[in-house]
Structures are given as structure tokens and as C-alpha cells.
Amino acid sequence: MTGLLHPDLLRGRNVFVSGGGSGVNLAIARECAAVGANIAICGRTEAKLQAAVRELAEYGVKTSYAVADVRDEAAVAAAFDHAATEIGPMDGIVCGAAGNFLAPAQKISTNGFRAVTDIDLLGSFHCAKAGFEQVKQTGGALLFVSGGQSRMPFLHQAHVSAAKAGVDQLMRTLALEWGPLGIRSNSLVPGPVEGTEGMRRLTETADGDVWEGMVPLGRFARQDEVGRMAAVLLSPIASFVNGARIVVDGGMAMSGSAGFNAAVLSADS
């Protein structure tokens, strides 16, 4: 669905998206490009990044990519330097790279737990820190892609719950510390989103109707619905929104995690 936002909403602004080669993060990059933003993305798989920038360039905007693992502080810093050289200093930073898998807490290895927290939480910190001087210069905005697990516990998600809770608190702290510098910080909290790797894995454990039944609107989000909200939060429309956790889940948070937990237990039995 196109045309819901003004085509010049982010015209001439530069947006960096970590994990922007696929999934929700690519959808965010796509919706920002659709309203005029120049886009820089980073990720671990060059082929995905190359395909993504080819698609994004079709919107008539400048694009850039860098191969970088967000767990590597030096690589992230280099990615931001490269992006600034290619398209200019960032007006918006989307900290979106994430990892996830389903496992009961007692079966999560230390390396597995660390991998998720390092990608989600430490990676978000690396991106925010690396881009700080750029968004300070532009009076820009940070957007952290969080998750419902940051507030609502889910079975087999101890690692993600810890990581996303940390992401939200990082966002709130930066809203306090960097707000006086003109930098806004917010979190975007998607619910289940169709066509993503995460939902593919979940729907392998139980019928898709089980998951959709947890959402009061009765369906998964489309990727463009999440992407458009991100574009708005990065835009002047949200100029006084700072320290907020914006939920785009069709009301799933109100229904609790009981359905999810029951489906996981059923799949385990």
C-alpha cells in the first residue's frame, strides 16, 4: 500500500538502518526511501545488501551499504564513516539488527544467550554511539527496533526478553542524555509481521491461525505498516516525541502471551 505518507516527508534526509538487507529493517528502509530519504544499510551478508540497495535506488534516492556485524564496534564505526562519505551525515539511525531462536532457558547455551544480547543490545549501542556525532550535527533521531518481549514474558524467549528490555532502557537513557542536544530517541515495537524469518520459524511450531488468533485485529502486520510508522517517527511529524515506546502489534500486547505460550508447549509435546 503506497501513497499514505507525503512523498517528500523525508526528502533530502539521510537514514542509516542496521540489519537493513532483509525483513522488517528492509521494510523500514523501503518506506523511508519512498518518502525521499537517502538510505545507508549495514549487515553481514553482502549479497542481501546489494540486492536491497538496488531495490532502494529505484525510489530515486542515494544509497550506500557496508558489510558489518553490529557486534564489532570498529566495523560499525567504519560503516557510519562510509555512509557519511557516500550520502552525508545521518538524520536518522534505525538500530534494527536482531537475532532470535526458540529454546527453554535451561537449554540456551552461554554462547547462544550472548549472541542474541550482543546483536540486539550491544549492537544497538554500537550503532547509537557510532552515529552520535552525525545526528548531533543534524539534530536527528534514533529509532530502536524492540519487541513485545521487553515487557511481556514469553516461553523460550529468556535471551530475547533480556536483550529487548535492555534496548528499551538504553533508548530511554539516551532520550534523557541526548535530548538536550536535540537528538530524539524512541523504540518501535512490532508484533508479528508477515513474510519475515521470525514468523516463518514461529509458524513452523504451530498452525498460523494460532498466532493470528492472539492479535485482536485477527492478522499479522504487513511489513509496510511497520515501515511507515518508522518513517513517521524519524520525520518532523514526531518532532516532540522522545523516550517513547511505540507499539505496532494490532493489540497483541493486550491479549497477553498465553496463546503464544500454549502454542509453544503444544509444539514441544
Distances 14 to 158, 171, 197, 224, 268 between C-alpha atoms, Å: 35, 20, 27, 19, 45
37 in Cβ contact with 61 (< 8 Å): yes
Catalytic residue IDs? 146, 164
Please spell the DSSP secondary structure of the chain, one letter per residue: ---SS-TTTTTT-EEEEETTTSHHHHHHHHHHHHTT-EEEEEES-HHHHHHHHHHHHTTT--EEEEE--TT-HHHHHHHHHHHHHHH-S-SEEEE---------GGG--HHHHHHHHIIIIIHHHHHHHHHHHHHHHHT-EEEEE--GGGTS--TT-HHHHHHHHHHHHHHHHHHHHHGGGT-EEEEEEE--BTT-HHHHHHHHHS-HHHHHTTSTTSSPBPHHHHHHHHHHHTSGGGTT--S-EEEESTTHHHH-SHHHHHHHHHHH-
- The grid cell for 17 is 538502518
Amino acid symbol at 248: V
